Amino acid sequence: MTSTREGPATGGQSGTAGAIDVLVVDDDFMVARVHRAFVERVAPFRVAGVAGTGEQAVAAADELRPDLVLLDLYLPDAFGLDVIPRLRAAGHDCDVMVVSAAREADAVRGAVRHGVVDYLLKPFEFDDLRARLERYAVRRGRLRDAVVRGQADVDRVLAGAPAPAPPGPALPKGMSAETAALVERVLRDADGSLSASECAALTGLSRVSARRYLEYFHTVGDADVSLRYGAAGRPERRYRFRGRPEEPGPGAAARGTRARAGASCGPGTFEG
C-alpha cells in the first residue's frame, strides 16, 4: 500500500478544501500507476493512496479515509465486491467505483446490489474515466448541498447527470489504453523530442512497441515528427507532443512535420 497524503488521515478535511480523495485499488502496479495519473488530471480529485490487495484496501481506508475508491475486482486475495462489505463493517461510507475487466452479468448485478456509483470496463481511455469522475463530482455536490422540502427536491437529488460523451476512436488492435497513456505521459513530459529507443528506455517497453505507439500518436495528430540526420544511415525519427516548443539547432526548420491521415502505425517501418 502506498500513501500520498501528508498529515493526519482525516479524509477530505485534511488537505485542499473541496478536494475529493481517491484510493486506487489494483493488483497490477503499472495499471494502478496509469489510473493514478488519470485521476490526478481531473480536478478536484486527488489520489490519497494505492492498494494492491483487498486487505491493503481495507487498511488504506482505515488510514486515509478516502471519499472514493476505484476498485478492481480481480484481486489476489479477494473478489473486489467482497471488499465492499468489509469497508462498510469497518464504518467507512466511502463511495466505490468499479474499474475492472470483469464483463460477467453477475459481476455487474452484484456491483449494483452493493451500491457502486459507476462501473467502468478495462481497457478504457482517459476521457472515459474523466466523464465518470466529473459526473460523480456533480452528484456528490448535489447530495451534499441538498435541502429536501418535498418530492421534487428528492427527484432533483437523484436525477442522473448527463451521460458521458461517446469515446473517441478505438486504439488499433493489439494496443492497450494503459500503455498508450504511459507513452503519452512520457511524451508530454519529455524535455524536447524523443526517439523510439529513448521512449522504450523510459517506459520499459521494447523499441518496436514504443515506436508503434509513437507512430499512432503521430497518425492521430497528437505528436509531431522530425528527422535527425547522423553521419551515416537512415535519419532518426524523433517525436514531440504537439504544442511543445521546437528544439534549437541545425535542421530545426525541417522539423514539426504534421500528422497525415494514413501514416503507417506498423512496426518495423522506421528506424529510431
Segment 153-170, tens digit of pLDDT: 777 666 654 444 444 567
Say what the pLDDT of residue 259 is.
Answer: 35
Res 229: pLDDT: 83
Report the candidate in 128, 125, 123, 121 with the shortest Cα–Cα distance to residue 73.
121
Strand locations in 229-268 (E): 236-241
Cα separation, 122 vs 90, whole angstroms:
29
Closest to 99 measured CA to CA, from 154, 24, 174, 21:
24
Tell me what pLDDT residue 58 has.
96
Q: Are strands 2-3 and 45-51 parallel, antiparallel or unpaired?
A: antiparallel
Residue 24: helix, strand or coil by DSSP? Answer: strand
DSSP 167-219: P-PPPPTT--HHHHHHHHHHHHH-SS-EEHHHHHHHHT--HHHHHHHHHHHHH
Gap between the Cα atoms of 41 and 233, Å rounded: 41
Question: pLDDT tens digits, the chain, 272 residues: what are they?
Answer: 766 554 333 333 344 558 999 999 999 999 999 999 999 999 999 999 999 999 999 999 999 999 999 999 999 999 999 999 999 999 999 999 999 999 999 999 999 999 999 999 998 999 999 999 999 998 888 787 777 778 877 776 666 544 444 445 678 888 888 888 899 989 988 888 999 999 999 988 999 999 999 999 988 888 999 988 876 667 889 999 986 555 544 433 333 333 333 333 444 333 34
Chain centre to alpha carbon of residue 188:
15
pLDDT value at residue 232 = 66
Distance of CA 168 to the CA centre of its chain: 15
Q: Is 245 helix (H, G, I), strand (E, B) or coil?
A: coil
Which cell is 9 given? 488521515
What angle, rounded to 10 degrees, do the helices at 80-89 and 105-113 form? 10
